[in-house]
Every structure is written in C-alpha cells, then in structure tokens.
Amino acid sequence: MIHPHTELKFISDEVGYGIIATDFIPKGSITWVQDKLDAVFTQSQIDKMNDYYKSVLDCYTFRNQKGKYILCWDLAKYVNHSFKSNCLTTPYDFEIAIRDIHPGEELTDDYGYLNISRPFRAKDEGTKRKTVYPDDLLKYHQKWDKAIADAFKHIKEVNQPLFSLLSPKTVSTINKINTGKKELDSILICYFSG
C-alpha cells in the first residue's frame, strides 16, 4: 500500500502517470508496504497467461529476491523510476523516504533494485547513469545502504500512517535496529540472480 498522502497524476508524455505527494512526507517515512492485497505471481503462473496479461504484468510488477512478481493492488504500481529517487526499498518489504518529500513532488524509486528482466534507457536526469540494468543492485547497493541507514534513523521520529500494515516480525526488527540490537540488513538481500 502506498502512503496515504499521495495521488495519481499525469506527469508527462514520456513517463505517463506518477504518484504525487499531497502533503509533506518527511525523511524516514514508510512510503510503501507490501500488504496482503498485493498479488504475488510465480514465473510459471505468468507463463500460462495470455499475452495481454503478460504485458500488464511486465509493465506493473517488480520481482522480489525470490523471483516472484509483485503486483501492487493500489496506486503504488504507478511509482516511476528516477536515478535521483526519493524512496528506496528495504529488505523488510517496505520502502522508506530517503529525504523529505514536499507536496506536489513525485515519489520515485530507482528501478535498478527492482530486479528488472532487461535493461532500459531511462529519462535523462543529468546523471552519469542513463540506463537501468538488471544487475544495478550489485553495483550500487553500498550507496543505497548508506541512504537507507541515514533515513532509518528517523523512522520512529515521524508519523507513520502505514505502520499498522507491517508484520509483527518487521516491527520487532525495526525496534531491534533502532535500539542497536540488530544491524540494518543490506538492500543487497533484495537481489534476485535468476
């Protein structure tokens, strides 16, 4: 489920629709949680579908570390890619804002950690990276780990409207990380090598 202070809005002809913040979302906010309504598909299930369903799933799913395809049931499926993303995934089935997100600003992910099947050339944002590759997680995980760790320090300080959707195990993990009883796992855990 996507953060409730968001809405779907047309961005441009190049990227189509995206998710816009309707209110201030501070750094450390959980911006998305994989919840019980999200659909999970195996490759064998997708292989049995017709081309229409395959094209929809190709556009709107990401793969988790087990190689399963996740289709978000709500607006979360419209979060666009950015090489300068303001949200990053964690190894705990939720995403976190790695900087403050202001009203009217688009929520974005770096698709490089979403286990894409094939490379694609993304919108030019003036960065050195121009193409998203299936193995970007192997190349950039240390940079992303630092950004996640910096945001994670604020997770208990900010209002968390999605906190009730986290599993008890995830809540326990967050508490252990915040009290120094556990290390924050690397985003590299999210990598699917298949």
Q: Return the pLDDT at 76.
A: 98
Q: What is the pLDDT of residues 63-114, one digit of tens each?
A: 999 999 999 999 999 999 999 999 999 999 999 999 999 999 999 999 999 9
Q: Report whether pLDDT(194) > 90.
A: no
Closest CA to 87 of 12, 152, 169: 152
Please give the average per-residue pLDDT across 160-179, as a whole number.
Answer: 97
Q: Are 173 and 181 in contact (CB under 8 A)?
A: no
Alpha helices in the chain (DSSP H): 43-47, 51-60, 136-152, 168-178
Q: Return the pLDDT at 44.
A: 98
Average per-residue pLDDT in the chain?
97
pTM: 0.96
Q: Report whether pLDDT(40) > 90.
A: yes
* Percent of the chain predicted with pLDDT > 70: 100
Interatomic CA distance for residues 85 and 20, integer angstroms: 13
- Residue 151 — pLDDT band, cuts 50, 70, 90? very high
Q: What is the pLDDT of residues 18-29, one digit of tens each?
A: 999 999 999 999
Q: Report whether pLDDT(135) > 90.
A: yes
Residue 136, both tokens: 């970007």
